[in-house]
Amino acid sequence: MRLSHPEPQAARREPTTARLRERGLVRLGVVGAILAFVMLAMLYVYATPTYRPPDEASHVAYARELGHGRLPTLETPLSSGGDPRLRRLLSGRDAQHRTIWTANHPPLYYALAAVPLRIGSATAHPTGGVQAARLLSVGWSALGLAVLAFLVLQLAPGQPQLAVAATGLVALVPSFIGTSATVYNDSLAFLTSTAALAAAVVFVVRGPSAARLAAVAAGAGLATLTRASGLLVVGVAGLAVLFGVWRSSQGSNLRRLGRAAVWAGVVAVTVAGMAGWFYLRNLTLYGDFTGSAALLERFGRVPGATPLRLLTSPGFWRVQQERLWDFTFDLPRTSGSLSRHLWLLGLLPLAGLLLAGARQLARPARPSTPPDPGRRVAVALCVVLLALLQLSVVQFASGGGGAHVRYLFPGLVTLGLAAAVGLTALPGGRRGLPVVAMLLAMGAANLWVWWRYLDALRAAERPALLVVAVPLLLVGFGLQAVALWRLEPEPDGARPGQADTPDRSSTGGGTSEQRSVTTPAAP
């Protein structure tokens, strides 16, 4: 079995001065986006009372149990762990909410969060332990934003401006910031799923190798150990490996399909070895792999509208947008959404996408280099993952669960890239002016939602936090503006002299990327 295609000479060229300058500007813009995200997330970390967000008490209790070497179930009592605030909270709860109802989630996030929580309990500072665990969640999301930037660069290498824009736009989504500042496993799910998707995209675009296969398998396994949404990531990763090996193989269709199936099987076996035990545990305890049915039954949830009816309901999509733009939408005692019209900001990138489509249709046909099919497939895989995530949310909501937009975070790269493409298509887009305007509007929206939310909580820490956070937030915006201004996209999104052919394995000697591959090496 041989995968044989020569590695393009362009891929081996040393970076030019212009390329080094471009990379520096991309890093500058991504750092600015992460800085803005961290500053806004810190406002929630230190100003939101512990256990105020729904489910945080259960997530914390899960991590504390795991810190003591015990893997909880849905019936495990939710212990206060010496935390006075949690003890007061539990005193007013019913029986269903006095157990760890999040125990159907895989344990990876909780094993990591257990460290600061255990330290906080051991030093008689349980509140500080929860805040430290929140900071850890912020860190996972910040690292995920860096991976997202790398992923966009793989999808659109000739338009580095899109990497900065997509990262900045995702970083300022209000629900993403608020969720990341809470002891929820969604932050790590965003990181691991985005990393797995990035590995899958690299596998498709650059071609198969043992190292890339190992990266895909490991990323998919970690995503599956974080949330059940990782199972969808495994499916997308498997498709990426199938396509990548099929495209790079030689021989009959049957032989190519056989090789692709063997390589994809490595991903499946790795994921099963890493996370299969937990999902089998769920199946044994609750009757299904995710434990969702038992959870809905426990809280007396009844099925609602059918998935098809939800998908065709304008009200469902409007509420989804409102939840995306307002973290306080589902929080108790906040009188519903405090910013029901912020989602209208999303119409601006949508208008840009329509304008870009109209320009493409009106552009006269002319000979050009055909786009790389591998990169097209890579973009399609990102879209497929987001679609699968949305379908899973609809299915869960149809069964009586909550249609939380944080369940879509593993697919945020698709939303960010689409918004970036739309905004850069507007007048002034080549210099990033619409993107900067949107970033400023989103930053102001975040501060407004946060201020109104804290006003409902009567928090006294607002002025001191703003004095520290706002100047650094403006620095983050400035770094992104400089990068976007100087990173002009190239015509047609293509880099002169850059080959789109994946660096597939080749016969003969040379580097490890050039050696023949006779069998799919295990990670």
What average pLDDT does this structure show over 335-355? 81
Cα–Cα nearest to 63, from 119, 22, 138, 23: 119
Q: Which two tokens stand for residue 401?
A: 């669960």
Q: What is the pLDDT of residue 366?
A: 67
Distance separating alpha carbons of residues 155 and 79, to the nearest angstrom: 46
Distance separating alpha carbons of residues 181 and 173, to the nearest angstrom: 13
Lowest-confidence segment of 17-21, 327-331, 511-515 by average pLDDT = 511-515
Cβ–Cβ under 8 Å, residues 14 and 515: no
Q: If pLDDT is split at 50, 70 and 90, which confidence band does 520 have?
A: very low
Instruction: Determine if the pTM surpasses 0.75.
Output: yes
Q: Which two tokens stand for residue 142?
A: 């910040």
When the pLDDT of each residue in the chain is averaged and rounded to a whole number, the result is 86
Q: Which two tokens stand for residue 227?
A: 């949330």
Q: What is the pLDDT of residue 468?
A: 84
Q: What is the pLDDT of residue 344?
A: 85
Q: Domain segments of the chain: what residues?
A: 27-356+373-493
Q: Give the tens place of pLDDT for each residue, 71-104.
A: 999 999 998 878 888 988 888 888 778 899 999 9
User: 369: how many CB neighbours lie within 10 A of its CB?
Assistant: 9
Q: What is the pLDDT of residue 461?
A: 63
Burial class (CB in 10 A: 0-12, 13-18, 19+), 124: exposed
Under DSSP, the state recorded for 515 is S
